[in-house]
Every structure is written in structure tokens, then in C-alpha cells.
């Protein structure tokens, strides 16, 4: 049953006030769209099994589960073909072990859906979609290592270093990262070189010190320390959200989206990127290890700051609700039938259980 709820606007959020990359001028980026900073009322409903009250915004009719299964199967097939078992066998086994271990394939699906949204073809986006999953898998392999997050399980299986040893796990991650960029450069067909270069630049930006590496570094350096919400947001925007943003933007660029379309989906991606991590933080304290497929409660045990720790569970859920609402607002610029996969992917991220 729908109830009215006032969700506070997080106007002090650096995501809203000063969007990431706004400080950096790029020939590939149009002026950044600014988020609304005023409080707003959003109708909320209790979504079944959801970690928070999701926004009650009408969505188009769309067979999302069928779409997600079909696209994930196509991505898995492409990934299997991209990393074949060849000498040196052990490192290729390690690469395939983590890459093909399952997972929701959210980043590849976002890339493909964004490409199709602006009129592109799935075949154009597939190499980039696979590359993004390779990069994501690399980050998981490295993140699980004993001298980083020290996690023994990933996707309900032993972590890579538990199976193949630390040295092989490190090299397998490195190999996936280099293969990702090569895969895009060599395999994209039917797309202008300029768009391919822009997509690769977007990926590289999401990986380095202005993205994943920078977020991971600050995250490790902040363990056991008092961290403000602003600092926590910096960690999550860089460590998690930037790669999700790259997935959506790469799809739109490869698909031939214009400057306004690319920035609309970029703003959408910034919201769902942070939403992904807020939900992750909530699940970490509300779900078991068996349900998550990885060690539950590990962030709090290691002294890391999380949204529930700094804001409380209910405020974290409300923040997630606002992020979802603003993400969906960005999609209103597009034809609803074409934007349907991104509408439902946003809701999927919000209501996921692992």
C-alpha cells in the first residue's frame, strides 16, 4: 500500500553539489547537468523483500526478467569466447574461474541498454560490455586479497587467491585489466574510431586514481578512523560508482548518443552508482553470508565506515530512495519504451538481495 513519505534532499552531497569530473574539462563532455537541491516529497511503497522503500514512479510495461536472462546469457557466451584456455594454462584458468563464476552482469547490461537507448546495436556494445566485466572482476580479485579486504569468498565460491594462490590471483587480475582494453580496441566493429577512443578513455578514467584505485586507496587508509559522510561518499563514488558510470556512458558513446543524451545517462549512472553502494552497505548488516555469497558484516568488523553506521539504517534507506528517484527522473528525457531496461535496472539495483 502506498504511503506518503518525505525524503530529505542530501544537498550537502558532493554527488549533487559538485558532480564527479565537473572539475575536469574534457572535449568529450557536455556541461554537467545539475541535480535539484531542494527537498521533495516522493510517494514511497514497501517493495517486497527490498532493503528500503522504493519510489512509487510508474514504469513502462516491460519483460525485465526475460530481458535480463537473455542479455546475461549473451554476455556470458561472449566472455567465455574472449578468454580461452591456453598456455600458460594456470593463469588462464584463474582468469576464467573468476570471470565466469556468475554474478549479475549489471555493468555489461547497463552498457548494452544504454547503447540501445540511443539507437545503437547490441553487437556494437558487446566488446565494451565484456571489457567492463573483466575490469570489475579484476577489482574483485584484488579486493579480496589478504593485504586489501582479506575475503575468502566471492560469488558463493572460494576467492581466487584461495584457489590459485596470491601471486597467480594478482597476475590474473592484471591480465584481465589489460585484456579488457585490448578487447575493446580490437573487437568493436561498425563504430567510428573517435567513439571507440572516447569509450576507452571513459573506462581508463574509471579505473585509475580518479576512480577505482583512488577510492580503494582512501577506503583502506580510512579503516579504523572517524570518517565523515562527505569522505564516505568520496570513497564510494570512486570505488564503486565510477565504473557503473563508465558502463552507461560507454554504451551511449558507442551507440552514437549526442552530448545531451550522454550527459543525461551520465547523471542517471551517478545516482545508481552510489545507490548500488548504499544498498550494499545495508545488505552487509542485514543479510547473512550465505544470502550475500560473501562474508557478511565484514565492513563493520574491520572498522570501515558505512552509510548505516554514519546515518542509521532508516536514513540510509531514505537516501537510497532519493537516489533511485533522481535516477529515474533523468530517464524521463527519453522515450519510455526505449528507456525501459534502464528504468528496471535501477529498480533492480535498489531491490537486490545480494
User: Which pLDDT belongs to residue 295?
Assistant: 60
5: three-class secondary structure by DSSP: strand
**Alpha helices (H) in the chain, listed in sequence order:** 14-17, 64-82, 89-99, 106-117, 122-143, 160-164, 166-187, 193-207, 212-221, 229-236, 242-254, 259-286, 289-292, 298-301, 307-311, 313-331, 336-351
Give the CB-side neighbour count of residue 93, counting CA atoms within 13 A.
9
Give the residue-averaged pLDDT of 275-284: 89
43: three-class secondary structure by DSSP: strand
Torsion of CA 148, 153, 156, 161, to 10 degrees: 90
**Sequence-ordered list of residues with C-beta below 8 angstroms from that of 70, at least 6 positions apart, any chain:** none
| Residue 234 phi, psi dihedral angles, 5° rounding | -60, -45
User: Which pLDDT belongs to residue 220?
Assistant: 86
User: Which pLDDT belongs to residue 107?
Assistant: 95
Contact between 86 and 139 under an 8 Å Cβ cutoff? The reply is no
pLDDT in tens, 291-325: 555 565 666 666 678 888 888 888 998 999 999 99
Q: What is the mean pLDDT of the chain?
A: 81
Contact between 28 and 201 under an 8 Å Cβ cutoff? The reply is yes
Q: Is the dihedral of CA 168, 303, 105, 259 positive or negative?
A: negative
User: Which pLDDT belongs to residue 29?
Assistant: 34
Q: Is there a cis peptide before residue 42, judged by omega within 30 degrees of 0?
A: no
Other beta carbons within 10 Å of 251:
35
pLDDT in tens, 38-63: 223 323 333 334 444 444 556 668 89
What domains are defined for the chain? 64-351 (1.10.600.10)
**Sequence-ordered list of residues with C-beta below 8 angstroms from that of 252, at least 6 positions apart, any chain:** 114, 115, 117, 118, 261, 262, 265, 266
Higher pLDDT, residue 223 or 145? 145
57: three-class secondary structure by DSSP: coil
200 pLDDT more than 70 = yes
Burial 77-94 (b: 16+ CB within 10 A, else e): ebbeebbeeeeeeebbeb
User: Which pLDDT belongs to residue 148?
Assistant: 83
pTM: 0.81
Burial 144-181 (b: 16+ CB within 10 A, else e): bbeeebebeebbeeebbbbebeeebbbbbbebbbebbb
Other beta carbons within 10 Å of 207:
20
Spatial distance between the Cα atoms of 1 and 44, rounded to a whole number of angstroms: 9
Strand 153-154 relative to strand 157-158, pairing: antiparallel
| Residue 287 phi, psi dihedral angles, 5° rounding | -120, 160
Higher pLDDT, residue 156 or 158? 158
Task: Please state, for a pLDDT cut of 90, what percent of the chain lies above it.
Answer: 58
12 pLDDT more than 50 = no
Give the residue-averaged pLDDT of 184-210: 95
DSSP state of 238: I
The owner of cell 594462490 is 165
pLDDT in tens, 222-241: 888 888 899 999 999 998 89
Residue-level length of the chain? 354
Spatial distance between the Cα atoms of 237 and 313, rounded to a whole number of angstroms: 20
Other beta carbons within 10 Å of 143:
18
pLDDT in tens, 326-343: 999 999 999 988 999 999
Q: Could you tell me the three cell numbers for 214?
A: 583512488
Q: Is 270 exposed, middle or buried (0-12, 13-18, 19+ CB in 10 A)?
A: buried
Q: Could you tell me the three cell numbers for 81?
A: 569466447
Type and span of the H or E element at 55: strand 53-55
Amino acid at each position: 500500500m502506498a504511503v506518503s513519505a518525505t525524503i530529505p534532499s542530501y544537498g550537502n552531497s558532493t554527488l549533487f553539489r559538485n558532480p564527479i569530473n565537473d572539475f575536469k574539462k574534457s572535449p568529450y563532455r557536455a556541461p554537467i547537468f545539475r541535480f535539484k537541491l531542494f527537498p521533495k516529497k516522493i510517494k514511497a511503497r514497501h517493495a517486497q523483500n527490498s532493503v528500503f522503500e522504493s519510489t512509487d514512479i510508474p514504469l513502462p510495461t516491460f519483460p525485465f526478467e526475460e530481458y535480463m536472462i537473455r542479455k546475461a546469457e549473451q554476455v556470458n557466451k561472449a566472455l567465455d569466447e574472449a578468454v580461452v584456455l591456453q598456455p600458460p594454462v594456470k593463469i588462464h584458468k584463474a582468469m576464467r574461474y573468476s570471470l565466469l563464476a556468475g554474478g549479475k552482469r549489471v555493468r555489461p547490461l547497463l552498457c548494452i541498454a544504454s547503447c540501445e537507448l540511443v539507437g545503437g546495436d547490441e553487437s556494437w556494445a558487446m566488446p565494451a560490455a565484456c571489457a567492463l566485466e573483466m575490469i570489475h572482476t579484476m577489482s574483485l580479485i584484488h579486493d579480496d586479497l589478504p593485504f586489501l579486504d582479506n575475503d575468502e569468498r566471492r560469488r558463493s565460491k572460494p576467492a581466487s587467491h584461495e584457489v590459485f594462490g596470491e601471486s597467480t590471483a594478482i597476475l590474473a587480475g592484471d591480465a584481465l585489466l589489460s585484456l579488457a582494453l585490448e578487447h575493446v580496441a580490437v573487437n568493436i566493429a561498425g563504430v567510428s574510431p573517435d567513439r571507440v577512443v572516447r569509450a576507452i578513455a571513459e573506462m581508463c578514467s574509471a579505473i585509475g586514481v580518479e576512480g577505482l584505485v583512488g577510492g580503494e586507496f582512501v577506503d583502506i587508509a580510512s579503516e579504523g578512523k572517524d570518517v565523515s559522510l562527505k569522505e564516505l561518499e568520496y570513497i564510494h563514488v570512486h570505488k564503486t560508482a565510477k565504473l557503473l558510470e563508465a558502463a552507461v556512458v560507454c554504451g551511449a558513446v558507442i551507440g552514437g548518443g549526442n552530448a545531451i543524451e550522454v550527459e543525461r545517462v551520465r547523471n542517471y549512472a551517478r545516482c545508481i552508482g552510489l545507490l548500488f553502494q548504499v544498498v550494499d552497505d545495508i545488505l552487509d548488516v542485514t543479510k547473512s553470508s550465505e544470502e550475500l555469497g560473501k562474508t557478511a558484516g565484514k565492513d563493520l568488523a574491520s572498522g570501515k565506515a558505512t552509510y548505516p553506521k554514519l546515518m542509521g539504517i532508516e536514513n540510509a534507506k531514505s537516501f537510497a530512495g532519493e537516489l533511485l528517484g533522481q535516477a529515474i527522473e533523468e530517464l524521463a528525457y527519453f522515450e519510455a519504451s526505449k528507456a525501459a531496461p534502464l528504468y528496471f535496472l535501477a529498480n533492480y539495483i535498489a531491490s537486490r538481495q545480494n
